[in-house]
């Protein structure tokens, strides 16, 4: 027999490949994690870890225990979901991961409405980009992740994850108010190949799409500004330095010196998705959050600040 609680320590070592990283995640010292794994080794009568460079690898016996730990955790989540379902209202803790640009205009109002509707539910939010958000849900560190991908470049999801499509989010061209395109009802991105551009630093799908378009149309694309935050991109456009594109949802308020020009023809479209583990699919809290996110996204899409002229 062995103590089930020790499986948490072995699973953390498995995820991170080292005792130090596992200790950092769990909030223990490395010595404490090693002691727990050592006790587990004595209880099962088998070696569980082998040195590998600066980290460790799990033995076959350890992998059997990790699989058992995953089964135990899945059973726990299924039971908790059914109990919450029997209560008929969202309860417990709901841990949400959300990418930065969606916190202000999407996640914050949705969570605010959920708090009012479900006072027995404790909400937690962590800012994470889509890929780390998915990893947090898959690893059991978050219950729901609000993520995005692009219609023409979709992400893949690990086994055991469920996804709900919340909304599509087209991008618009933003230009200085003095730009030749500022008064247009619509424009094509090819109309901007001679302009100086601002794009993000992380080389996102949208940025790659823009650079590919510019490179195909001109020998010397002028992507002179690379900044991550949408508000900073807007400030550069407002100063008359460049043009850019921004999704409609989560866009910051635009000053009077910036104009929005809808795009005609092929253009990137972002998808908003909610992702959660299949074992938590019966939790009312998750379904209520998804309802609030959908409501918020629908309202935001028709908000006056997303109109063509600020």
Of the chain, the end-to-end C-alpha distance in Å amounts to: 67
Is 143:286 a contact under the CB 8 Å cutoff?
yes
Cβ–Cβ under 8 Å, residues 68 and 7:
yes
pLDDT of residue 224: 93
Q: Quote the pLDDT of residue 2.
A: 80
SS (H, E, C) 221-247: CCEEEECCCHHHHHHHHHCCCCEEEEE
Q: Rounded distance, CA 92 to CA 120, Å?
A: 7
d(CA 78, CA 72): 10
* Residue pLDDT tens, the chain, 310 long: 788 788 888 888 888 888 888 888 888 998 998 888 888 889 888 898 888 887 888 888 888 888 878 777 777 777 777 777 777 788 889 999 999 888 988 999 999 999 999 998 999 999 998 989 998 998 888 999 999 988 777 888 888 899 999 999 888 999 999 999 998 999 988 888 899 999 988 777 778 888 888 888 788 889 999 998 889 999 999 999 999 998 888 778 899 999 999 988 777 788 999 999 999 988 999 999 999 999 999 887 665 344 444 4
Do the Cβ atoms of 199 and 223 come closer than 8 Å? yes
Radius of gyration from C-alpha coordinates of the chain: 24
Give the domains, in start order, of the chain with CATH numbers: 4-72 (1.10.10.10), 90-167+270-306 (3.40.190.10), 169-269 (3.40.190.10)
The bridge status of strand 55-58 relative to strand 244-247 is: unpaired
Virtual torsion, Cα 258, 261, 263, 268, nearest 10 deg: 20
Nearest-angstrom CA–CA distance, 222 and 144: 39
Per DSSP, the three-state class of 147 is strand
Euclidean distance between CA atoms 106 and 20, whole angstroms:
36
User: What residues have CB less than 8 Å from 104, skipping those under 6 apart?
Assistant: 250, 252
Distance (Å, rounded) from C-alpha 247 to C-alpha 22? 38
- How far, in whole angstroms, is CA 169 from its chain's centroid? 15
Q: Is 250 left (phi over 0), alpha (psi -120 to 50) or beta?
A: left
Cβ–Cβ under 8 Å, residues 32 and 70: no
54: number of Cβ within 10 Å? 8
Measured CA to CA, the distance from residue 154 to residue 205 in angstroms comes to 10
In angstroms, the CA 77 to CA 278 distance is 9
């Amino acid at each position: 027999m062995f103590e089930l609680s020790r499986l948490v320590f072995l699973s953390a070592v498995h995820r991170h490949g080292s005792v130090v990283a596992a200790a950092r995640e769990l909030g223990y010292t490395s010595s404490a994690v090693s002691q727990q794994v050592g006790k587990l080794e004595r209880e099962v009568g088998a070696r569980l870890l082998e040195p590998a460079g600066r980290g460790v690898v799990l033995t076959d016996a350890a992998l059997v225990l990790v699989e058992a730990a995953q089964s135990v955790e899945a059973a726990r989540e299924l039971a908790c979901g059914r109990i919450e379902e029997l209560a008929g209202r969202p309860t417990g803790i709901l841990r949400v991961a959300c990418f930065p640009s969606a916190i202000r205009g999407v996640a914050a109002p949705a969570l605010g409405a959920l708090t009012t509707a479900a006072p027995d539910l404790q909400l937690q939010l962590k800012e994470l980009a889509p890929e780390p958000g998915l990893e947090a849900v898959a690893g059991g560190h978050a219950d729901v992740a609000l993520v995005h991908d692009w219609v023409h470049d979709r992400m893949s999801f690990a086994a055991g994850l469920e996804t709900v499509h919340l909304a599509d989010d087209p991008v618009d061209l933003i230009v200085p108010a003095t730009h030749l395109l500022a008064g247009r009802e619509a424009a094509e991105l090819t109309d901007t190949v001679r302009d100086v551009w601002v794009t993000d630093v992380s080389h996102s799908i949208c940025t790659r799409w823009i650079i590919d378009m510019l490179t195909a149309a001109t020998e010397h694309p002028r992507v002179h500004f690379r900044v991550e935050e949408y508000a900073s991109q807007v400030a550069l456009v407002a100063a008359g330095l460049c043009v850019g594109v921004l999704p409609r949802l989560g866009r910051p308020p635009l000053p009077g010196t910036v104009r929005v020009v809808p795009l005609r023809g092929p253009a990137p479209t972002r998808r908003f998705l909610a992702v959660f583990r299949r074992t938590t699919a019966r939790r009312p809290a998750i379904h209520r959050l998804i309802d609030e996110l959908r409501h918020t996204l629908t309202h935001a899409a028709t908000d006056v600040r997303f109109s063509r002229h600020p």
